């Protein structure tokens, strides 16, 4: 449905999006996850034809954004982070206005508004002024706006940002409902948000993709990994690293900042679910080092996210 090829965007000399490649399938709900400043909004603005890429291309159903930007815009609905609503209008009048601008025939407007009202839960607020609405309700009106011409693709920039937990749950439900028929790309900096709503998560950091997988596979990857915290008295850190590396080829021994004088600390990572504490203990028993700490922590999706996006 959408192919993103080597997409790059510079703001003067600053590279905000750095050679992104992506293939988004029809019907997918894809979450673009990353910390603030990672390049999510810039990527979405290029996807919707708002910004021209510095280099690279985006193909939507084989149309190129550099040549067919108008045709591509017709296939897409876009909800920016702050929905651009006319605040002094009633919701009904505002959506009628959007329908006219979008070229919907006059006789079809009432039925389209009814469909959108049902989809986005607007029936109770149709005759309220936009500026009286809570942020969650404004976001629902913004979604109805983005869906007006029944686009095949919906692009949402941080759709739940600034909402309370109930409003977040409501918007999530609407996105999932819409996602049964449409292709959706939405950005978020909140991991649980992507986890709860998306089929696939693409993590970006400093303009680059650092992970791209189905939500389930990322969860499995997290569940199968673990790390062990080890602190020792009377040990030379280099000797410890050398000794522990002999336990298994797939474990990684990282030196940590010592928390206490005379204590050497390490993090031992493994990509398998195997618990190596017994082997570590038996190795250390052969030396004259004493154990101050030997504990195991399971990896979570959150720890993977922090690991992949650290330094931002």
Binding site for ligand ADP (CB under 6 A): 11, 14, 16, 34, 36-42
CB of 14 or CB of 166, closer to ligand ADP: 14
How many helices (H) and strands (E) would you count in the chain?
11, 14
Number of Cβ atoms within 10 Å of the Cβ of 263: 15
**Using CA atoms, how far apart are residues 69 and 49, in angstroms rounded to an integer?**
6
User: Hey, which bits of the chain come out as E strands?
Assistant: 2-11, 14-24, 29-33, 55-60, 63-64, 76-79, 153-157, 183-188, 200-205, 208-214, 226-233, 251-256, 263-270, 290-298
CB of 45 or CB of 112, closer to ligand ADP: 45
Chain-centroid distance, C-alpha 86? 29
CB of 18 or CB of 68, closer to ligand ADP: 18
Least CB distance to ligand ADP at residue 39 (A): 4
* Phi, psi at 228, each rounded to 5°: -120, 135
CB of 18 or CB of 57, closer to ligand ADP: 18
**Using CA atoms, how far apart are residues 271 and 72, in angstroms rounded to an integer?**
42
Least CB distance to ligand ADP at residue 208 (A): 12
> With helix as H, strand as E and coil as C, how does 49-110 read?
CCCCCCEEEEEECCEECCCCHHHHHHHEEEECCCCCCCCCCEHHHHHHHHHHHCCCCHHHHH
CB of 38 or CB of 218, closer to ligand ADP: 38
Least CB distance to ligand ADP at residue 231 (A): 37
**Using CA atoms, how far apart are residues 37 and 11, in angstroms rounded to an integer?**
13
CB of 39 or CB of 142, closer to ligand ADP: 39
Q: Which tokens is 99 given?
A: 């329908």
CB of 45 or CB of 182, closer to ligand ADP: 45
Spatial strand order of the sheet with 153-157 comes to 76-79, 153-157, 183-188, 29-33, 200-205, 208-214
CB of 35 or CB of 237, closer to ligand ADP: 35
Q: Is 231 helix (H, G, I), strand (E, B) or coil?
A: strand
Least CB distance to ligand ADP at residue 30 (A): 15
Q: How deeply is 210 buried, as exposed, middle or buried, from its count of CB atoms within 10 A (0-12, 13-18, 19+)?
A: middle
Least CB distance to ligand ADP at residue 268 (A): 33
Residue 25 DSSP class: -
Least CB distance to ligand ADP at residue 106 (A): 38
């Amino acid at each position: 449905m959408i192919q993103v090829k080597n997409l790059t965007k510079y703001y003067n000399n600053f590279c905000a999006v750095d050679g992104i490649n992506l293939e988004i399938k029809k019907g997918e709900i894809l979450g673009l996850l990353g910390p603030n400043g990672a390049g999510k909004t810039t990527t979405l603005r290029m996807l919707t034809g708002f910004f021209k890429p510095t280099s690279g291309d985006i193909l939507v159903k084989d149309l190129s954004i550099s040549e067919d930007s108008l045709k591509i815009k017709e296939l897409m609905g876009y909800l920016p982070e702050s929905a651009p609503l006319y605040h002094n209008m009633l919701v009904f009048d505002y959506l009628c206005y959007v329908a006219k601008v979008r070229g919907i025939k006059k006789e079809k407007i009432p039925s389209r508004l009814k469909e959108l009202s049902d989809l986005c839960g607007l029936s109770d607020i149709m005759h309220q002024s936009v500026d009286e609405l809570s942020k969650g309700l404004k976001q629902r009106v913004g979604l109805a706006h983005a869906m007006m011409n029944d686009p095949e693709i919906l692009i949402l920039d941080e759709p739940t940002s600034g909402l309370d937990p109930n409003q977040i749950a409501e918007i999530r439900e609407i996105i999932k409902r819409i996602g049964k028929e449409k292709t959706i790309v939405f950005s978020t900096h909140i991991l649980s948000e992507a986890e709860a709503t998306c089929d696939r998560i693409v993590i970006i950091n400093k303009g680059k993709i650092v992970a791209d997988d189905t939500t389930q596979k990322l969860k499995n990857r997290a569940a199968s990994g673990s790390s062990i915290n080890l602190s020792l008295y009377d040990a030379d850190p280099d000797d410890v690293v050398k000794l522990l590396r002999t336990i298994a080829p797939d474990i990684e021994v990282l030196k940590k900042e010592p928390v206490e004088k005379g204590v050497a600390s390490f993090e031992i990572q493994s990509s398998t679910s195997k618990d190596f504490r017994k082997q570590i203990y038996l190795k250390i028993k052969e030396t004259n080092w004493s154990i101050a700490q030997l504990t195991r922590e399971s990896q979570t999706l959150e720890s993977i996210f922090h690991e992949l996006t650290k330094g931002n």
